[in-house]
């Protein structure tokens, strides 16, 4: 089999799969209609805020199956993992269409769909990155960008189905469609052969003529100082993006005085720049290096947060500039880190290694919105939250220099050993 040509089919299949599973982030479209439906069913008084726990849990459980499914992927390949993950993801959404209370939604959407997402997402990205050692940044950017674009494409489709048939029917219809698409696409996936090298590409060579390649397992990765610098960098870099993404609509309404339609447009704007940032940063990182790209993203983040800080007087222009730049910066971290992890610890075990690294994303996703909500409740405004986020971005910038020092020291030690 000519994997140099086949890998493009695998990349396209991964993009289709990620476009489907990224719909998890379209939860906001379902929350209000489901709250209304459950209120009518149970004579309750639920609000969309009462259902927020459903999304929080779904977003938090992904790393569990990213690590577990990643191990199976590294051993046996992605077909079975993605097929099972697709059954879970689509099946969980279908079961959500039969929900009669919040607990049912937690079981179906939060746990089954959320765990299915973790199995699928980790495999598509890691498998694609393995097949493209010559374009890791680009491939990491494209596969994660399609995941991000789902939050732009799926909501209007889901909203139209909800308007025509109701939220429960929308869950069933969309869930069935995604189950078929993901499970069918799984058959186009292949396990990357060990030490795969595309035709016409020569791997970079070290100073002494040795090919620059390591293949650490998760234990060796977690013993290396680089891992702790990298996961800390991911937490700091993703903090501002996840903090703002979770609150774009309230920010637009409370700070700027936008209407619901205006706030929806702001969400779409951030999502589009997020997707663009993943692809652009991936391509740029192939040219100037991963850590240099992430350092630039931290600087961009501080600029975007500064624009949001001065938007407190109701300036629409600076608000849009702020969320656009934040989207670019956050997208850069999401697009670059899959390839960054494979570069540092090797492609062989990247499914598990990236799953563990992704815990940093989950931590940022918890602390970012939590800190912002706490500050908003205490101060009655979001201004101080932007200053805190600038502090995290500044720390991230500092960590890029720490990473360079740590890797330089490790390189010197390795040279002495092989001398």
What pTM does this model have? 0.81
Q: What average pLDDT does the segment 247-266 reach? A: 80
Alpha-helical runs (H) found in 189-259: 218-223, 225-245, 248-250
Q: Are 21 and 120 a contacting pair, CB within 8 Å?
A: yes
**Rg (the chain; Cα; Å):** 21
**Strand spans (E) along 76-176:** none
Residue 211's pLDDT is 43
> Could you report the per-residue pLDDT of 139-182, keeping only the tens digit for each?
988 998 898 888 788 888 888 899 999 999 999 999 999 999 99
Q: Where in the chain is the domain with CATH 1.20.1250.20?
A: 3-186, 218-418
Is the pLDDT reported for residue 212 higher than 60? no
Q: Are 300 and 328 a contacting pair, CB within 8 Å?
A: yes
C-alpha–C-alpha distance, residues 137 and 294, integer Å: 12
**Structure confidence at residue 250 as a pLDDT band (50, 70, 90):** confident
Token pair for 88: 């879970």
Q: Are 240 and 326 a contacting pair, CB within 8 Å?
A: yes
Residue 213's pLDDT is 53
What's the CATH fold of domain 3-186?
A: Growth Hormone; Chain: A; (1.20.1250)
Q: What average pLDDT does the segment 264-292 reach? A: 89
Residue 419's pLDDT is 52
The residue behind tokens 């005085």 is 257
Residue 210's pLDDT is 41
Residue 418's pLDDT is 55
> Could you report the per-residue pLDDT of 28-54, keeping only the tens digit for each?
788 888 999 999 999 888 887 788 788
**Structure confidence at residue 183 as a pLDDT band (50, 70, 90):** very high
C-alpha–C-alpha distance, residues 300 and 196, integer Å: 36
Residue 394's pLDDT is 98
- Select the CATH number that applies to the domain covering 218-418 from these four: 1.20.140.10, 1.10.357.10, 1.25.40.10, 1.20.1250.20: 1.20.1250.20
Residue 249's pLDDT is 75
Residue 153's pLDDT is 86
Q: Which helix (H) or strand (E) holds 29?
A: helix 27-42
Across the chain, mean pLDDT equals 88
């Amino acid at each position: 089999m000519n994997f140099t040509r086949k890998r493009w089919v695998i990349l396209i299949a991964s993009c289709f799969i990620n476009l489907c599973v990224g719909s998890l982030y379209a939860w906001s479209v379902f929350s209000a209609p489901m709250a209304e439906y459950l209120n009518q069913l149970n004579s309750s008084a639920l609000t969309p805020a009462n259902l927020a726990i459903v999304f929080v849990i779904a977003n938090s459980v992904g790393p569990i199956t990213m690590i577990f499914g990643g191990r199976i992927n590294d051993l046996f390949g992605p077909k079975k993992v993605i097929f099972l993950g697709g059954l879970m993801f689509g099946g969980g959404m279908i079961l959500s269409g039969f929900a009669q209370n919040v607990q049912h939604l937690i079981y179906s959407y939060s746990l089954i769909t959320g765990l299915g997402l973790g199995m699928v997402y980790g495999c598509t990205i890691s498998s694609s990155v393995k097949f493209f050692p010559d374009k890791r940044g680009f491939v990491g950017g494209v596969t994660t960008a399609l995941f991000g674009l789902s939050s732009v494409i799926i909501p209007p489709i889901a909203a139209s189905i909800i308007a025509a048939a109701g939220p429960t029917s929308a869950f069933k219809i969309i869930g069935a469609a995604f189950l078929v698409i993901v499970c069918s696409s799984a058959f186009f996936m292949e396990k990357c052969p060990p030490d795969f090298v595309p035709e016409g590409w020569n791997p970079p060579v070290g100073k002494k003529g040795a090919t620059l390649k390591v293949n650490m397992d998760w234990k060796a990765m977690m013993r290396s100082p680089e891992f702790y610098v990298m996961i800390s960098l991911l937490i700091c870099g993703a903090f501002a993006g996840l903090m703002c993404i979770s609150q774009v609509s309230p920010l637009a309404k409370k700070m700027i005085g936008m209407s619901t339609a205006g706030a929806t447009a702001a969400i779409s704007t951030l999502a589009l720049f997020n997707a663009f940032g993943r692809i652009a940063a991936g391509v740029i990182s192939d040219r100037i290096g991963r850590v240099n790209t992430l350092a630039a993203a931290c600087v961009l983040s501080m600029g975007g947060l500064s624009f949001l800080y001065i938007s407190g007087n109701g300036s629409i222009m600076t608000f849009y500039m702020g969320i656009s730049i934040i989207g670019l910066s956050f997208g850069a971290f999401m697009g670059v880190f899959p390839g960054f992890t494979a570069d540092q610890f090797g492609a062989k075990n990247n499914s598990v290694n990236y799953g563990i690294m992704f815990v940093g994303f989950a931590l940022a996703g918890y602390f970012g919105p939590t800190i912002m909500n706490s500050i908003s409740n205490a101060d009655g405004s979001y201004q101080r939250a932007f200053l805190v986020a600038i502090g995290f971005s500044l720390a991230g910038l500092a960590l890029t220099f720490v990473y360079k020092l740590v890797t330089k020291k490790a390189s010197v030690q390795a040279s002495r050993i092989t001398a």
